[in-house]
Structure 1
C-alpha cells in the first residue's frame, strides 16, 4: 500500500548523508568491516565513470565489481544499499541510485565508508 511505501522511500527526502543508529548495519552477513569498506571503495571508484546515470548503466557497473573485489554480488550490494538508503530493505537498488542522483549517492557511500573506518 501507499502507507508501506513511505518508510521505504524516506531516503529520497533526506538531504545529506544518512544517519546510522548502528554502524554495524553497514556490514553484511558473513562479512567483516574490511569487506564492507572494500565494497564501498569499489563502488566509489567505479560509479563516477557511469554515463549516463541510469538504472541500467548503474546496474552494469555494480554487477561487474565482484570480479575485481572477490566479493559475491549480494555481499557487495548490501553495504551499498544500507549506505544509500539507511536500510537493508529498499526499492530496487539500481533504480534507487538513479533517482537519488550521482552526487548524493557518492556522498552517502563516502560517509558510510568513513564511518566504518572509524568504527
Structure 2
C-alpha cells in the first residue's frame, strides 16, 4: 500500500509543478494531495516536500492555519473569473457555462474567505 501512496504523491507533485506553468491546472490542491499521500507512505518524502523552498510553504500554511497566500488567491480567483468567459467564447452551451459559473463562484467564495498566512498579515 505504501507504494501506491508514494506513487500517488509523485504523480501529484508532477501535476502541481505542471500547474505552475499551465494556467488552468491548479497547483495547491495537488501539493496538498502529495503531502497527504507522502505522509502515508514515506516520512522522508513528506519531509522533503514540506521542506522544499517553493512547494513547502503553501502546504504548511494550509496545514497549520488553514490559510491561503495572497498571490495564490489572486491567481486562483483570476483563473476562475476567466474560465467561464473562455468557455462561453468557444461556444459551449449556455447552460454548461451557467453551471460552471455557479460551481466556480462557490469555490471562489471559499478561497476568498480563507485567511492569509501569518507571515503575510499586516
Q: TM-score, normalised by structure 2?
A: 0.28
Larger relative contact order (CA 8 Å, sep ≥ 6): 1
Q: TM-score, normalised by structure 1?
A: 0.28
Greater helix share, 1 or 2?
Answer: 2
Q: Which has the larger radius of gyration?
A: 2
